[in-house]
Each structure stands twice: as C-alpha cells, then as structure tokens.
Amino acid sequence: MHRVDPLSPAAQRRPALYTPQERIRRDNTRWTLVQGILAPVQFLVFAVSLGLVLRFLLTGEGLAWANASVVLKTLTLYAIMVTGCIWEKVVFGRYLFAPAFFWEDVFSMLVLALHTAYLVALATGALSAQGLMYLALAAYATYVINAGQFLLKLRAARLDEARARPLRQATTTGAVA
C-alpha cells in the first residue's frame, strides 16, 4: 500500500479539512465521541442485518428477523444522522452541507431516502418480501459507499494532523517566525 507523505507537495496542495478553530471545536465536543461510538455500532448492526437479509434471499427463511434487523439498522442510521447534524453544527456552524463534508452529506441523503423507503414499503405492504430485501440491499450498498466517504475524510483529517504537527511544534519552539 502506498503511503502519502503528509509533508509532500501533493498533500500540502489539498486544503486542510478543519481550520484550527474547527479542529478545537471538533476535539472539545462530546458529539465527536458520540459519532465515534455510533459509527461502529451502526456497522455491526449493518453486518448482522446484511447476513440476515442474504439468508432470507438464499433460503427463504428468517423474514421477520431480516425485517427487524433492517428496521434496527435504519434506526441506528437516523441516530447517527441526527447526532452528526448536531456535530456538524457545533464544528462548522451549520447542520448539513458544510463545505468540508458537502458530498458526504449529499450522498447521506440518498442513504436516508433508501432506508426510509424501506420503512414505508414495509409499513404499507408496497413491496413483496423479496422486493423489500432487494431495497434493503440497495440501501446497504449506498451505506457502504457513504461509510467509505467518511473513512476517507477521517484519513484526510489524520494526514492534516500529521502535516500540521511539525508546523505547530516549530512555532511553539520559536523555529518559525
């Protein structure tokens, strides 16, 4: 795997994900911890649910468990979205579509729409059991892409931290004017 040197010219050209003030707000809000807890919980619920959905599609067994797991996955998604909006407001001053997370938020809307469509279809009987499971798989595919977007942002933030660390150290020791 190729590692990007955080001090390389390519890394330096990309604007930092957080301003120094945003970084301080990110580090000082409890919502960062909440997001850090909810994200792996949601992924665990997703993994179990995916298994239950696939089991139903392959064997025709366990529809109630599959449906319940998708509902639970959707509820965890709602929880992480609401708390994520609060986090974004605290850190960036807006509930959604802050420039640093614009495309992640846009794609999150598709994830929410598909999960919500599942709940509506389940409640109204608009789709067959198989149709519901295929809708769940579509929702899950978008979730995986969106989770990947956020993991890339987490990596970018870590690279920014590595890039900024020598600069902060130099300024505190007086090496940089």
Higher pLDDT among residues 67 and 161, named by residue: 67
Is the CB of residue 135 less than 8 Å from the CB of residue 118? yes
* Cβ-based burial of 20 (10 A; exposed 0-12, middle 13-18, buried ≥19): exposed
- Within-domain flag for 174: no
Q: How many domains does the chain have?
A: 1
- Within-domain flag for 45: yes
Range of the domain at 24: 19-162
> Distance of CA 160 to CAs 63, 97, 117, 165, Å?
46, 21, 37, 8
- The CA distance from 39 to 108, in Å, is 14
pTM: 0.81
- Within-domain flag for 46: yes
Mean pLDDT, rounded, for 150-157: 86
73-116: pLDDT as tens digits: 999 999 999 999 999 999 999 999 999 989 999 999 999 999 99
Residue 1 predicted with pLDDT over 70: no
**Three-class SS state of 2:** coil
- Within-domain flag for 167: no
- Within-domain flag for 172: no
- The CA distance from 23 to 85, in Å, is 17
- The CA distance from 128 to 141, in Å, is 20
Amino acid in position 90: V
- Within-domain flag for 136: yes
- Within-domain flag for 52: yes
- Within-domain flag for 117: yes
